[in-house]
Amino acid sequence: MDDGPDPKRNPTDSEETNDIGHRGKLQTSSAVLGVLAAIALCVIALDVATKSLVVALLDPERPVHVIGDAVTLRLVRNSGAAFSMASGYTWVLTLIALAVVVVIIRFSGRLRSGWWVLGLGLVLGGAIGNLIDRIFRDPAPLRGHVVDFISVGWWPVFNVADSAVVCGAVLLVVLSLLGFDYDGSRSGFAARRSDTAHDERDRGAADSAPSSPEERDA
């Protein structure tokens, strides 16, 4: 028998629930984008500041020895990609960097993992940092040379933006291999580890629960 509509139920409850859920998702996406932007801006600020100091203070012919010959600061104008690779393809690299920035921004709305936000934020900040050089530095817009200044042993000279890109990329690879997905879900090793932790907590709760009425009344 149909008792009819519940007079206590607001007919818009389901609509309000959907709206709340939708707003919650938007708020989460906005928070993700905010954290992503904050990380990227920190990388960009540090990259621009260090490059400006290097250009103003370092003589290309006189490197500064920080730790003997192992770590030095030397001013290098790089027309290639990170770590001075692919020289001569500056305009192609500029377009690739622009594409990377657009893809990360569009993809950010699907992120729910803080570690993925950190990794992509580092990559985004590094890509924009070097992109600023390519757009605004000599010899021409979209063909500008990137300022590199950190030399470590045999490793090619690099800058803060290069370091951020590499660290972010390595973090994303490790997260993928361990099963920590961009949407906050887990698979593989991460899922098995999570299941094991849940099982241990459940066993601990079961062991601590009273097993008889006398124990419950005690």
Each residue's pLDDT tens digit, 167-207:
999 999 999 999 999 888 888 777 777 656 555 665 655 55
Q: Catalytic one among 6, 162, 183, 217?
A: 162
Q: Which two tokens stand for residue 132?
A: 């600023």
Count Cα atoms within 13 angstroms, Cβ side, for 155: 17
Catalytic residue status for 133: no
Q: Are 148 and 84 in contact (CB under 8 A)?
A: yes
Question: Residue 25 pLDDT > 70, yes or no?
Answer: no
State the average pLDDT for the chain.
Answer: 80
pLDDT at 217: 56
Q: How confident is the model at residue 27 (pLDDT cuts 50, 70, 90)?
A: very low
Q: How confident is the model at residue 125 (pLDDT cuts 50, 70, 90)?
A: very high
Cα dihedral: 23, 101, 167, 162 (round 10): -150
Q: Catalytic one among 148, 183, 199, 217?
A: 148
Domain positions in the chain are: 30-199
Residue type, 109: G
Q: Tokens 């993928």, residue? A: 176
CA dist., res. 194 & res. 199, Å (int): 9
Non-local CB neighbours of 89 within 8 Å, separated by 6+ positions: 80, 81
pLDDT at 14: 43
- Tens of pLDDT, residues 41-96: 999 999 999 999 999 999 999 999 999 999 999 999 988 665 555 566 677 778 88
Catalytic residue status for 162: yes
